[in-house]
Amino acid sequence: MVRRREKKSRYYRGSRTHGWGRVAQHRRSGRKGGRGRVGYHKHKWSWTVKYAPDWYGAHGFTRHPSLVVQFRALNVGVLDEKIEELVNLGVATRSGDSYYVDLTLLGVNKLTGSGRVSKKIVVRVHKATEQAIAKISGAGGKVVTPGETN
């Protein structure tokens, strides 16, 4: 005799639970082993080992904020635009066609190289990028770091 198989798809018309037994067995978080991240060290350990091996344990450290140097940067283009304001405020000085400014007095400790420099500026700053030094010296100025002398 021909062996009869079940149909490929079953629509479960009129069935209340669609093969899941009691109504609650296919509802809520009990069917997936708990809500959220529970069970990663228990019944979901094999999942943790495969998909989240770094979930447990210490990973690196955070340095104390007092030990981390916070760079307050200023672009050479902004410095070039604001140099007249700095002279008016008394932070920078002008001598002939060149300007002298100490950015450490403003709390700026890094000079970055974005923007254009059209004025001759001598800048004192803790750190400067190569591009910033090239642009300042290209306009006839100079970048002085604390290790150097004027």
Residue ranges per domain, the chain? 12-62, 73-144
Fold of 73-144: Ribosomal Protein L15; Chain: K; domain 2 (3.100.10)
| Separation CA 21–CA 31 (nearest Å) | 12
CA distance 150 to 144: 7
**Residues sharing a CB contact under 8 Å with residue 23, sequence separation 6 or more, in sequence order:** 16, 17
Contact by Cβ (8 Å): 55, 48: yes
* pLDDT exceeds 80 at position 33: yes
Instruction: List, in sequence order, every residue forming a beta bridge with 44; answer none if it has no partner.
Output: none
- pTM for this predicted structure: 0.58
What are the angstrom distances between the C-alpha of 84 and each of 66, 94, 97, 146?
34, 9, 12, 24
Q: Which amino acid is at 139?
A: A
pLDDT in tens, 65-117: 999 988 999 999 999 999 999 999 999 999 999 999 999 999 999 999 999 99
* Percent of residues in the chain assigned helix, strand, coil, to nearest 5: 30, 15, 55
pLDDT tens-place string over residues 103-145: 999 999 999 999 999 999 999 999 999 999 999 999 999 999 9
Please give the Cα distance from 142 to 54 (Å, whole number).
Answer: 50
